[in-house]
Amino acid sequence: MSEVEIVAPKTFIGGIYGFRTYDSREIRYVGMTTASVTVRERQHFKTAASGRKTPLYDWLRKEGREHAIAVPLEVVLTGLDDLAEAEIRWIARLRRGGHRLLNLSEGGKGPNGHIWTEKQRRAAGDRARGRPTGVHRRGPESPIWGRAIHSEEQKAKWSAMRKGTNTGAANPNYGKFGPDHPSFAHTMSAASRARLSEMRRGELNPNFGKVASEETRAKRSAALRGRPMPSSVRNAHTRHHTNKGVFKETCRHCIDDRNNERDGK
Ligand SMILES: [Zn+2]
Instruction: Output the CA 260–ligand 1 centroid distance in Å.
Output: 13
pLDDT in tens, 38-94: 999 999 999 999 988 889 999 999 999 999 999 999 999 888 889 999 999 999 999
Distance, CA 239 to ligand 1 centroid (Å)? Answer: 9
pLDDT of residue 132: 66
**Residue 72 one-letter amino acid:** P
pLDDT tens-digit readout, 97-121: 999 999 988 888 876 667 777 788 8
Identify whether the C-beta of residue 105 lies closer than 8 Å to the C-beta of residue 28: no
Mean of pLDDT values over 202-222: 86
Query: What's the CA gap between 145 and 80, in Å, rounded?
Result: 34
199 CA → ligand 1 middle, Å: 26
Give the distance (Å) from ligand 1 centre to CA of residue 193: 20
Whether residue 1 has pLDDT greater than 60: no
Q: In this predicted structure, what is the pLDDT of residue 134?
A: 59
Query: At residue 74, what are phi and psi to the nearest 5 degrees?
Result: -160, 140
Other Cβ atoms closer than 10 A to 82: 15
Q: How far is the CA of 243 from the centre of ligand 1 (A)?
A: 10
Domains of the chain: 14-133 (3.40.1440.10), 213-265 (no CATH)
CA of 192 relative to ligand 1 center, distance in Å = 23
Long-range contacts, 161-170 (Cβ 8 Å, 24+): 162/62, 162/64, 165/62, 166/62
- Report the distance separating Cα 169 and Cα 176, nearest Å: 11
Q: Which has more confidence, 10 or 4? A: 10
Segment 214-226, tens digit of pLDDT:
998 999 888 888 8
